[in-house]
Amino acid sequence: MLSTSIILLLFTYTTVKISAFSRFPVGALFNDQTNPTTEEVFEILLRPDSSKPYNARILHPKVVDTYSIAQDLCSETSDNGGVVALIDARPTNGICDITCLLCNKLNISHLSVGWQTTDTSDEDLFSFFYHPPPQLISKAFATLIKELEWDKFTLFYEDDDSFIRVQEVINSWPYDNDHIHFEKLDPEGDNRETFKNVFMVLRISYHVLDCDVNHIQKYMKEIVSVNNSTQYQSFVLTALDSYLVRLDEISQLRANVSTLHLTKLNEPIWRDFGVNTNEISVPLETALTADALNHLEKAMRSMRKKYAENDYTEPPELCFSVEKAAYQEKACTYGNSLRESLLENTFRGATGDIIFDEHGKRTNFTLYYSKLDSESKFVHVGTWDSKTDDIITINTAVTDRSKAVTSESIVRVVTKKGMPYFDIEESNGTIVYKGYAVDLIEGIFKHIRQQKGYEEIRHEIYKIDGNSIGNQISGTKKWDGLIGEVLELNAEMAVCDITITSERSSVVEFSTPFMSLGISMLFSEREPQPPDMFSFIKPLALDVWLYLATAYIIVSFVLLICARMSQQDWVNPHPCNQNPENLQNIWSFYNCMWLTIGAIMTQGCDILPRAIGSRWVTGMWWFFALIVTASYTANMSTFLSNSRRDNEIKDVKKLSEQHEISYGVLINGSTYKFFENSNDSVYQKIFTVMESAKPTVFTTSNDEGRDRVVRSKGTYVFFMESTAIEYYTERHCDLKMVGPKLDSKDYGIALHKKSPYKRLVDNAILALQETGELLTMKKKWWESKEKEGNCEKTKEGDDNGLQMENTSGIFLVLVCGGVLGFFVAIIDFLLHAHEICVKEKVTFREAVISEWRVSLDPRAIHKPAAPPRSTAPSTATPSPQRERSQSRAVSVLRAATSFINFDEIY
């Protein structure tokens, strides 16, 4: 009987030991910051089950600070109430607090589900973090943003912890930090002004929203209250529970929203755990807590197989010790075994594969990529793998949400500033948009509103900051300028002088052309040369004039010698006298010079040579004068024509063959691309010269090119569209279009690929074209009565006559010659008067007065041989010289009478 009792007591003791060893005590630490669902699901998982290797209990202290919590845990784990593992559902805040330190000192596994790893995680060997490290999570979001091809975005955050959660997004960003705009949100306040500044002023369309998952709906409601066009916005939500938020309850939200998450809705594993997900929404914290408990269970089962026969010892209490050695004495004897089992055993839980590295951090996990569909519900479209850092799309049917065309649609139209297409002016405190693009859009939407179902459709116009039509950003698939605004869904369409090109058509869709044009050259009137009063000298070079003057003198002298030597030039002075005593030769040096000058002036002469030699010399001189005069006349005509010619460049070929005039184009525009991609040798040469020119001949806008042409005064040509040239030449008299158009192209409205507005816009443009409204719009904005530049000069330039500035030298020569002749005549007159006063014995005054009176009387054809004396003449007999003087005076008088009266012959 006694032996039976001893055996029964021993069996009972052994059973208790084995049972105690097979049911490890586990604690779960919660506080008021823990999601209530987590504790609720944890209690479901703790339903009695004799097969479970643990005996778990919930520890929920009422205190908040870490020291008081540690004190409560000490009392709850005393009296053989210790735990071998503690599941801690509190946020860690990056610090291993007292509870965490006690667990690591006593070899108790501390299983944390907080998102932030501790700073001493590499030293805390018994700490396990079931939430993936924030560095890897932020790396996944950085990959997602690159996949979405964002080039600029706003980071909305609530606290500084956001910079830990998105640190890889910031650190790995390939652009400057200026491309990331940071805005802090107030979860308790009103953030509408912040959103309004980002959407309306900064016009940023891409955003990362890092906030508590419970605040997402609040922020989205504020966003739709300040921005009706949310379809042009894109958001990435960093909270891993964001996919659980019911954004379909915000009917006005039409933004593109993407997120990554660690769990999935309605996972079958929850049914295995006995959790009804239709009644309970399982957040990430709850899933991590459940995974920690189930992973712990698997590790304990594995450890129990290895250590079932070992002596069982009660786990230590979580209390402070005075000395370090006390912790070592009380440390859990199989704590290391449990730690190794947790590291060795993997588990497939609600958050994916549970795999730890040597420091107790999650590794080799997968994130799910989801985005809103057309019904505002998150749909799983891909996965991110931490091993490859790649996003693999598995559902291509879900695309970015786009706005359907409805009667309440607000269509955003982007343009750029620059007349005649778009400009902004302020009138009475009101901002007014004007220009061809504004009238065109108004006409298009007026036609669209006439269609059934689109009566209430609205539109709004905004401008970009720069002047770029759009070019592809190097190294990316993104574009800048107007094309970039359309591609990034900031606008439904872009309207301006957008040339339809194959490169642009590959990324956007163009409407029916609303204007045709071609490339031509904008040139300026050359700076007029200062008038040259001696321009009549220019047809012959200076050395020709000198040789001509020398030849004139030499020929006159040769003619004189020939005439004096030839007997035929010695004639009878009185033809009636058949036997003259003397012969007369009229060829003095003065007469020879008169004959030669008359010949070269093509006026002839009243005296001509009679001898063969003198006539031969005269004939050769006439032939020479004919050639010289004809050459002068021809060169004078050519000179005048060249002086009137304001531009020698008539086409692009002549422009490429000269080096005096430079030429340029708008950089990276369609005209630039035309020359860059052309196979024509002339155009290739043009582009090569422009590209190598220093300083650069490229401009950043058409207005800059126009101003450069105006300033150059005929030394710079600007290639641009003919429509722009027509606009500038209408307003500036010094500008003109030179040469024929180099190509033919069209302007169109840029829209998204497969845009629902394409058909409506095409029909509207065709209707405006058929009614002539497009032509009316162009006349309105192109024609102008206000002109700049020297318009008067342009009008005068139309007159092909010789201008006074160029002939004033001829008049000056005439005046100088007349004045010189007048002075010579006066001197000759005075000398003649002096001779008379000497010969006639009269005073010089009497001789001058007498001669002057006769000279000024146009009716007098005779004059006295000697002037009247003021005193009585002498009674002495006139001297023989006096008689001869009188006879000569009579002879001169008779000769003058004979010369004037041709009928009297002696």
Confidence check: pLDDT of 845 > 50: yes
pLDDT: is 616 or 786 the higher one? 616
SS3 244: helix
CA distance 749 to 757: 11
Task: Read off the tokens for 399.
Answer: 């695309």
The answer to whether the beta carbons of residues 491 and 232 sit under 8 Å apart is yes
The answer to whether the beta carbons of residues 481 and 468 sit under 8 Å apart is yes
Contacts of 117 (CB under 8 A, 6+ apart): 92, 94, 129, 133, 134, 361
φ, ψ at 213 (rounded to 5°): -60, -25
Cα end-to-end distance, the chain, whole Å: 205
Query: Can you tell me which residue has the tokens 């010789």?
Result: 802
DSSP string, 472-516: BPTTSS-B-HHHHHHHTTS-SEE-SS-B--HHHHTTSEE-S-SEE
- The DSSP secondary-structure symbol of 867 reads P
Give start and end residues of each alpha helix (H) in 23-76.
36-45, 66-76
pLDDT, residue 7, reads 39
Task: Read off the tokens for 362.
Answer: 């999650």
Give, for 735, the enclosing helix (H) or strand (E): strand 735-738
Q: Give which of 662, 555, 566, 678 is closest to 611, Cα–Cα.
A: 566
φ, ψ at 898 (rounded to 5°): -65, -40
The answer to whether the beta carbons of residues 88 and 58 sit under 8 Å apart is no
Annotated binding site: 499, 504, 670-671, 721
Res. 588 pLDDT band, cuts 50 70 90: confident
Confidence check: pLDDT of 318 > 60: yes
Asked if residue 695 has a cis previous peptide bond (ω within 30° of 0), the answer is yes
pLDDT: is 231 or 483 the higher one? 483
Cα dist from 100 to 69, 106, 112, 756, whole Å: 11, 10, 9, 59
pLDDT, residue 876, reads 43
Q: Give which of 215, 70, 62, 208 is closest to 141, Cα–Cα.
A: 208
pTM of the full structure: 0.61
CA distance 355 to 342: 9
Task: Read off the tokens for 280.
Answer: 């309970």
- The DSSP secondary-structure symbol of 95 reads -
- The DSSP secondary-structure symbol of 242 reads G
pLDDT digits (tens, 9 = 90+) for 643-652: 555 446 788 8
Task: Read off the tokens for 238.
Answer: 């960093």
Burial (Cβ within 10 Å: 0-12, 13-18, ≥19) of residue 595: buried
Torsion of CA 589, 595, 599, 601, to 10 degrees: 80
pLDDT: is 353 or 314 the higher one? 353
Annotated binding site for L-glutamate: 499, 504, 670-671, 721
Of the chain, the percentage scoring pLDDT greater than 70 comes to 83
Neighbouring C-beta atoms of residue 679, cutoff 10 Å: 6
Confidence check: pLDDT of 394 > 90: no
pLDDT digits (tens, 9 = 90+) for 222-247: 999 987 667 778 899 999 999 999 99
Confidence check: pLDDT of 16 > 80: no
Give Dmax (Cα) for the chain: 217
pLDDT: is 716 or 265 the higher one? 716
Res. 607 pLDDT band, cuts 50 70 90: confident
- The DSSP secondary-structure symbol of 130 reads -
Confidence check: pLDDT of 883 > 70: no
pLDDT, residue 834, reads 81
DSSP string, 136-192: HHHHHHHHHHHHHT-SSEEEEESSTTHHHHTHHHHHT-SS-GGGEEEEE--TTS--H
Burial (Cβ within 10 Å: 0-12, 13-18, ≥19) of residue 263: buried
Burial (Cβ within 10 Å: 0-12, 13-18, ≥19) of residue 373: middle
pLDDT, residue 126, reads 93
pLDDT, residue 688, reads 92
pLDDT digits (tens, 9 = 90+) for 319-339: 888 788 888 888 888 889 999
Burial (Cβ within 10 Å: 0-12, 13-18, ≥19) of residue 490: buried
CA distance 817 to 823: 10
Its sign, for the CA torsion 315, 318, 319, 321, is positive
Mean pLDDT of 887-901: 47
Give start and end residues of each alpha helix (H) in 172-278.
192-196, 216-226, 268-273
Beta strands 378-385; 390-393: pairing state:
antiparallel
Confidence check: pLDDT of 590 > 80: yes
Average per-residue pLDDT in the chain? 81
Beta strands 430-434; 54-59: pairing state:
unpaired
Confidence check: pLDDT of 855 > 80: no
